[in-house]
Homo-oligomer: A and B are copies of this chain.
Amino acid sequence: VTIYDVAVAADVSAATVSRVLNGTDTVARELVERVEATVEQLGYRPNHAARSLRRQVAAVWDVIISDIENPFFTALVRGIEDVGHEHGFSVVLCNTDEDLQKERRYMDVALAERVAGVIISPASEQETDLTKLVAQGVPIVAVDRRPSRAQVDGVMVDNALGADAATSHLIEQGATRIACITGPQRTTTAAERLAGYQAALDRVGLAPLPGHIRYADFKPEGGYQAARTLLQSAEPPDGLFVANSQMLLGVLAACRELGTSIPDELALVGWDDSPWATLVSPQLTVVSQPAYDLGRAAGDLLVQRSAGQPGPVRRVTLLPTLVVRESSVRRSVQPSGGPSATAG
């Protein structure tokens, strides 16, 4: 059933049906009603392929993220989806696994599909190249991570602030040898969280010990390896800030294996809250990000750009929150130097 079937049945032209459907132009009230009734009656659904071909743009947003298994990103995507659906866009999820080549391929697909917009969390600040997309006039919003090679709208969290709060909190708890496990250097989130950590140490005249800053891969295995190395070094930390929730999984596994007692032997602050953060013992202190709202904000920006709204590049920043629980709070004021019993 095509637009012509509707036109014939309603005794108008296809052009008129199109106008009614799109709310463009003015159509006599009577015809509007007739067309709408006919559409309803015939169960007519516009053919999106034909529409996209004619309009030269598909009612689709591509969302390019690096890790679909990270609950932060799924919450983010839900925020984007909710806004997108409210405005008639389909949302296509593209998962890159932090792989620059996959990311490039998805950007090519976005180009071929003539999508109405792209929301991307770049796999790399320097290497992710948005210029082709920009050149084609595709509206783009960066989310979570900043790209450096193109000026585009963005929605970010104040990572430095969150990391600073986390680290300051560890300092207040009496930790003096505070380590940091951050993500790949090529991402802005890893860099900014590291910077916040360093700023907090600087402020009180502390400095990281050699080897106490570790760059891992934002994945559990990376966190696991980094934690093992740290804990088995000559000068193990008594405080640890882990800048990503996936890596935190690995860190906790390592602590369990090595019998490191938290928080007495190692005060711990993670990143991103999880439903199970209160189910482990000790309950986890984390920096919580407003993931869903981040997604909604990105969607809002993209809606405006898709509608052709011009104007300078905009950047929205949301604030993270430190949620203090047990993993960072010393039960006694004295830092424990002695050996510990098995982890509990």
Q: Hey, which bits of chain A sit against chain B, CB under 8 A? A: 45-50, 52-53, 58, 68-69, 71, 74-75, 77-78, 81, 90-93, 95, 108-109, 111-114, 220, 249, 252-253, 256, 274-276, 278-281, 344
If A78-B95, A95-B78, A111-B45 touch, whether A253 touches B279 (CB-CB below 8 Å) is yes
Check A90–B109 contact: CB distance below 8 A. yes
What are some 13 contacts across the A-B interface (CB < 8 A)? A48-B58, A49-B53, A52-B52, A53-B53, A68-B74, A69-B74, A69-B75, A220-B275, A249-B275, A249-B279, A252-B276, A276-B276, A280-B280
Closest 5 CB pairs of A and B: A49-B52, A45-B112, A49-B53, A276-B276, A249-B275
**Max chain B C-beta neighbours (<10 A), residue from A45, A47, A252, A275:** A275
Cross-interface CB contact of A112 among B47, B69, B112, cutoff 8 Å? B47
Nearest neighbor of A59 in chain B, beta-carbon distance? B113
Cross-interface CB contact of A46 among B75, B78, B112, B256, cutoff 8 Å? B112
Nearest neighbor of A109 in chain B, beta-carbon distance? B90
Further pairs besides A69-B74, A280-B281: 14, Cβ < 8 Å:
A45-B112, A47-B112, A48-B58, A48-B112, A48-B114, A49-B50, A49-B113, A68-B74, A78-B95, A90-B113, A91-B92, A93-B93, A249-B276, A274-B276
A253 to B279, CA, bound (A): 7
Check B58–A68 contact: CB distance below 8 A. no
**Max chain B C-beta neighbours (<10 A), residue from A46, A74, A256, A344:** A74
Residues of B within 8 A of A50 (CB): 49, 53
**Max chain B C-beta neighbours (<10 A), residue from A81, A111, A113, A114:** A113
A280 to B249, CA, bound (A): 11
If A112-B45, A279-B253 touch, whether A71 touches B68 (CB-CB below 8 Å) is no
A68 to B81, CA, bound (A): 12
> How far, in Å, is A235 (CB) from chain B's closest CB?
26
Nearest neighbor of A44 in chain B, beta-carbon distance? B112
Residues of B within 8 A of A220 (CB): 275
A8 to B92, CA, bound (A): 34
A259 to B87, CA, bound (A): 47
